[in-house]
Structure 1
């Protein structure tokens, strides 16, 4: 009886070790990609182009593409939303400034950029793999799905932009803000006689 248990552990241990090694290697390269956002997004753009080319060549998998579009729209909303939403949560000091006299508080996203990128990249890879299984190729009239997705996108973005205007925040920042010092007051040279 002891021999049966030994045989099971000897076959499981190498597989577990291989899985652990693969996981560590993947995490190593994922960590190394963190400081290179431009390269990461170019890689995701390449994955998206390969997926679009695959769907175009196969002339199918429109429901998979529609689901992918809805998922990316959901991720985009999380990326553009503040971590602490003034409409939903009780404010305990960590909120967006709503008046010009309020103290500046940096915009913190609900979904950070790295997780946004990683989720989109995984979504394109999974959708690409789904195109190899005919069970996911549901026959559908794709222009209806496209029109519905566009309407959904416009309505969702309109709501998000109205939220941005109401609470006066801009989720996109380009570069680091620099302190330029006080500007000298301009004096008028007109004197009274």
Structure 2
């Protein structure tokens, strides 16, 4: 049994390695999956708790994607600067808690599981969905305010905006 499990894992990792370079098509697939899930929710007019759980999970993944690996948002007094503050400081590249591929993979798996759950009527729990929407909006605003405050405090931008241009001596 262990050999079969190891072989399945090797096959999975081989296919995973083949799709890593195709960033655009991976995200197109994820977007199509999310739109399909949204369409399924609209058609069934239910599964609001599952959608809420999926939204919370995606928010959590996105926050981990935006956060540097060494940052500690919970304990601000222990939080050390992430990027160099002065010109004499050593350059430290922005390393994320969750990389782009990990974000895509986890979002795709979570959306697939949520989509699969919509085929079981026992998981369609009765709930007043506008309360869930309001609670998610409040949670999103509060967490993003804290994340943006952390980004401003430590002067980091989690997105690549191009190659840095250095001013040096111009010897022509």
TM-score, with structure 2 as normaliser: 0.85
| CA displacement at 1:27 relative to structure 2 | 2.3
- Aligned 8 A contact 2:68 2:82 in 1: no
Alignment partner of 1:103 is 2:90: yes
Match of 2:134? 147
Trace 1:63-82 onto structure 2 (pairs within 5 A): 63-82=49-68
Alignment partner of 1:36 is 2:13: no
| CA displacement at 1:100 relative to structure 2 | 4.8
Trace 1:128-167 onto structure 2 (pairs within 5 A): 128-167=115-154
Whose radius of gyration is greater, 1 or 2? 1
Give the root-mean-square deviation of aligned CA atoms.
Answer: 2.4
- SS of structure 2 residue aligned to 1:116: helix
Query: How has the CA–CA distance of structure 1 residues 168 and 60 changed in structure 2, closer, same or farther, with 3 Å as cutoff?
Result: same
Alignment partner of 1:123 is 2:110: yes
Match of 2:155? 168
| CA displacement at 1:151 relative to structure 2 | 0.8
For residues 113-170 of structure 1, the C-alpha deviation after alignment (integer angstroms, 9 at most, x for no partner) is: 1111100000000000110111210111111111110111011000000000000000
- SS of structure 2 residue aligned to 1:123: helix
Q: Distance in 2 between matches of 1:163 and 1:178?
A: 23
List alignment gaps of at least 5 residues for structure 2.
Answer: none
Query: How has the CA–CA distance of structure 1 residues 123 and 88 changed in structure 2, closer, same or farther, with 3 Å as cutoff?
Result: farther
- Aligned 8 A contact 2:84 2:90 in 1: yes
How many residue pairs end up in the alignment? 167
| CA displacement at 1:181 relative to structure 2 | 5.7
Match of 1:48? 34
- Aligned 8 A contact 2:82 2:156 in 1: no
- SS of structure 1 residue aligned to 2:153: helix
